[in-house]
Every structure is written in structure tokens, then in C-alpha cells.
Amino acid sequence: MPNWVFVILLAVVFTAVLAIGQGLYWAYVSRVEQRQEELKRRLGQTGEEAIEMESLFREEEGDVAASALGGFGSHIRALITQAEAGYTVGHFAARVIIAFGIGMVGGGIVLQSLIGLIFGFPAALLPYLLLRWQASARTARLVEQLPDSLELMARSLQAGMGLSDAFKLVAEEMPMPIAGEFGRVFEEVRFGRDYREAFEKMISRNPGVFDLRLFVSSVLLQRETGGNLIEILNNIANTIRGRFVFEAKVRAMTSEAKFTAILLGCLPLFVIMALSFMNPDYLTPLLDDIIGNMIVAAALCMYGFGTWLMYELSNVEV
């Protein structure tokens, strides 16, 4: 091995080790700071208001990219709000363009053919899929924390606290993201916003949480017509937990279908890898000929559609 090749490999290894070590260090520091902030929030020692009055009553700023994209831009902006991603639709569009360029260049270099340019399209979907995953993960955490929050509110009301103080207690004692939602409602009401308007804002930030709509409707109806709010909150919490049990049974019953879908989806990839290993020249016409490129493109489209269809058929919505 030439000396210059050894030096380059050594430099690459050193840079990779340094980058990994730096990443692990900052990940540890970030986790420690997050724990400290969570402890300060629960102790009420943040030193400043969690949500400032100006930001509470300020309407959503106009996003040029969202307006230009129309309905799709509004959908992306709703996903960003639901996921608490912290960037605008314009930043999302920039990420899509960068991912598209990386996918095209990477596919062209790896396959050394024009067929590699088609990989820019699935790469462009990655930012959208990541944003949807973040929104779904936050929604799942919110639904999971909601029964405990409702029971905590019921116990605080039973102890003689008011509804606003119950929201504050949930914001201090429960983890994020449920603490942030109830804390925001508490701050908005404290600054003079009506309960109905504050609840509508909370629902608009979390459109996929049906249990939150049920809670809001129950509280507003109780405030208008009266009733035992403690019993209502306990009943809602028990209903949500009962649905959790039913969803677990459904997941257990559909696990076989999902596993079959995963196997069928991975089977073509294993076949391609095996053919490439046993006979490398067998698939060469698909990469060198224009007709082969069209066949590969059609196969990839059908493969993606079939994978999505099997996932949707095995995904039972409760």
C-alpha cells in the first residue's frame, strides 16, 4: 500500500472518530440540559414565563411558501405545528430540494447510469416522511399521557382547586408534550383569553387527537349546563385506557399480516442481492439499456405502491 493512501485512510479514520466523539459529547450535554430544564419546569423555577403574552396572542405569521403551495402548504404547516418542528414551510421546501439533489447525485454515482437519477424522487420524500413521523410520535405521546393528566385534574378538582389551577398543576407535574399544551391553555386564560378560544387553539395544534376533542367538548358542556366534572374526567380517562387495551389486542391479531407484508416487501431486495452475488452480469441489461431502465423504473413504482398498499391493509384504525 502506498504511503499516501495510508495517510489518507488514517486521516479519514481520525476524522470519523473525532466526529463520533463530538456527536456523543454534545448528545450527552443536550440530555443533561434537557433534564435540568425539565426539573426546573416541574419546580416552577424557570426564572421567566413559559409563554410570553405577546407570543400567546400573536396570530400565525404569513408564510410565503405555504401560501404559494396552497392546500399542500397548509397541510405542511399543520404538520410542522403538530410536530413542534420549529421551522417554516420554506425551510421544509429547502430540505426537500436538498434531499432531491443528494438522491439524484448519489444514485447516479452508485449505479453509474441515468437510472440512478430516479432515486432523487424517493429521497425527496424523506423530509416529508420524517416530519409525519415526528408529528405521529408526538401525537402518540400526547394520547398516552392524557389519561394520567385527566385523573390528576380530577384529583385536584376534588381537593378544591379551580379548573385553571388544575391546568397549571398538569403543566408542572406531567412530562412534555401534554404539559406544554395544558400550560399554554393556563397562560392564555390567565392573560384574558376565553376558555373556548383557548381550547380551540389547542385542538387546532393537535388535530389528530380525538380524545382531546372529547375532553374539550365535555369541559365546555359542563361549564354551560353544569354537572360533575370530576366524574366526567374519570370516565374519559377510563374510556381512553380501555381503548388502549383494545388497540393492543388488535395489534396482536394483525401482527402476522404485518410480518408477512414486511417479508414480501424485503423479498425482491434479497433476490436482487443474491443474483448480483451469484451472477453479476445477469442484471446488467437492466442498467445499460434504456428499455431496461424503464422496466426498473416501473418495477420500483409498483414495488412502492404494493408496499404501501400492504401496509394500509394491515393497519387497522381503532
In angstroms, rounded to a whole number, what is the distance separating the alpha carbons of residues 69 and 6?
Answer: 51
Residue 5's pLDDT is: 52
Residue 48's pLDDT is: 43
Do 152 and 173 touch, CB atoms closer than 8 A? yes
Residue 13's pLDDT is: 62
What letter does residue 7 receive in the DSSP assignment? H
Residue 57's pLDDT is: 47
Contacts 24+ apart (CB under 8 A), 169-175: 171/50, 172/41, 172/42, 172/44, 173/42, 174/145, 174/148, 174/149, 175/38, 175/145
Q: What confidence tens digit (pLDDT) does each residue in 83-123 have?
A: 777 777 777 788 888 888 887 777 766 666 666 667 777 78
Grouping H, G, I as helix, E, B as strand and the rest as coil, residue 176 is: coil
With a CB cutoff of 8 Å and minimum separation 6, the contacts of 264 are 310
What DSSP line would sit under 71-132, residue for residue? HHHHHHHHHHHHHT----HHHHHHHHHHHHHHHHHHHHHHH-SGGGGGGHHHHHHHHHHHHH
Q: What confidence tens digit (pLDDT) does each residue in 288-315 have?
A: 778 887 888 888 888 888 777 777 776 6
All domains of the chain, ordered by start, with CATH?
142-247 (1.20.81.30)
With a CB cutoff of 8 Å and minimum separation 6, the contacts of 178 are 141, 142, 145, 146, 149, 170
Residue 33's pLDDT is: 65
Segment among 54-68, 244-258, 266-280, 284-298 with least mean pLDDT: 54-68
- Note if the bond before 177 is cis, omega within 30 degrees: yes
Task: List phi, psi (to 5°) of 175.
Answer: -75, 170
Q: What confidence tens digit (pLDDT) does each residue in 119-156 have?
A: 777 788 888 888 888 888 888 888 888 888 888 888 88
In angstroms, rounded to a whole number, what is the distance separating the alpha carbons of residues 79 and 91?
Answer: 13
Which single residue is written with the C-alpha cell 354537572? 227
